[in-house]
Amino acid sequence: MPVEPLSQQEIEDRLTGLPGWSLDGDRLTRAYRLASHAAATAMVVHIAQVQDELDHHSDLTLGYNTVSLSVHTHSAGGAVTEKDVELARRVEDLAPGHGAH
């Protein structure tokens, strides 16, 4: 089933409910700073599980205590779609304090 790209306005509307997320070119991006390397690593594992559940995978980077994501939909020509927004919402639910920076 094809996934349709969101318009600029649709993306902006959805970002209002996703504090800390932003549009960087054709991707939704977010970085989380956690209390420790162990906490950041645990978050990466949880994000990977969510990505597998959704069958939608982002670029995911682990720093010492930082987790960064860059999300877009390859099957939609690299555009932002509802799949990306859903992944962002699910990742927010994993973050300490639901959206810790």
One-letter amino acid identity for 79? A
pLDDT of amino acid 97: 74
pLDDT in tens, the chain (101 residues): 568 999 999 999 999 999 999 999 999 999 999 999 999 999 999 999 999 999 999 999 999 999 999 999 999 999 999 999 999 999 999 988 754 44
CA separation for the pair 74, 17 (Å, rounded): 23
pLDDT of amino acid 101: 41
CA separation for the pair 93, 82 (Å, rounded): 17
pLDDT of amino acid 100: 42
pLDDT of amino acid 99: 45
CA separation for the pair 28, 63 (Å, rounded): 19
CATH dotted code for 8-94: 3.30.1360.20
The residue extents of the domains of the chain are 8-94
pLDDT of amino acid 30: 98
pLDDT of amino acid 20: 96
